[in-house]
Structure 1
């Protein structure tokens, strides 16, 4: 499943073959390395310089994920739309 704004991918959920589901989303460039160094549940996607991934399981912090997806939307959305978002 993929969510987009104006043709730009905000988030994409995939997986299941190995019984693990993942979500990838956009992050500010300076945050990508931080997520990568945190380790699981985060990972750096194999494409795009601003794409971060997160494993989804019973330990997922859904409030944190909501914030990350809001940030991803703001990275991808046109400035006018991003400015209208109230961030948590």
Structure 2
């Protein structure tokens, strides 16, 4: 079996810059890739989908190429829109509120920042969401 690939350090750094200002968020190594959590809830997870390893992205698309993917939570109209948008978005079958996004050279990092921040809002206790709002954090 081939060695599991890890996300590129620059991708992890960009995501860390987005998540750093979010109250009580923290980064940790996950079973694969890197995840960001608030309390014990994961609100963003970046990994490489590759052959030889279980991957919802590969199961859905059949894409054999290694792809860096980000999963995050969404709700309401945003969840509905993203799950019907098609690639680079996809809907993993293991959670009704999780959306996946393929990260590549065409990724809009401003959009990623908005999506990750909204995911944080979905997962964080309301006290922390109010703290983010009071600090003038990302909307």
What's the TM-score once normalised by structure 1's chain length?
A: 0.91
The answer for the alignment partner of 2:62 in structure 1 is none
The answer for the alignment partner of 1:55 in structure 2 is 102
Output one character per residue of 1:25-54: Cα deviation in whole Å (capped at 9) or x when no partner.
001144322112111111111211100010
- More deviation in 38-47 or 58-67? 38-47
Where does the alignment leave 5 or more consecutive residues of structure 1 unmatched? none
The answer for the alignment partner of 1:73 in structure 2 is 120
Structure that is richer in strand per residue: 1
Where does the alignment leave 5 or more consecutive residues of structure 2 unmatched? 1-33, 51-64
Shift of residue 63 of structure 1? 0.5
The answer for the alignment partner of 1:37 in structure 2 is 84
Q: How does 1:8-47 map to 2 (within 5 A)?
A: 8-17=41-50, 18-47=65-94
2 CA distance for matches of 1:29 and 1:52?
12
Count matched residues. 88
What's the TM-score once normalised by structure 2's chain length?
A: 0.59
Higher relative contact order (CA 8 A, sep 6+): 1
**4+ long deviations beyond 4 Å:** none
Q: RMSD of the alignment, in Å?
A: 1.3
- Please tell me whether Structure 1 or Structure 2 has the larger radius of gyration of its CA atoms: 2
**2:41 aligned with 1:4:** no
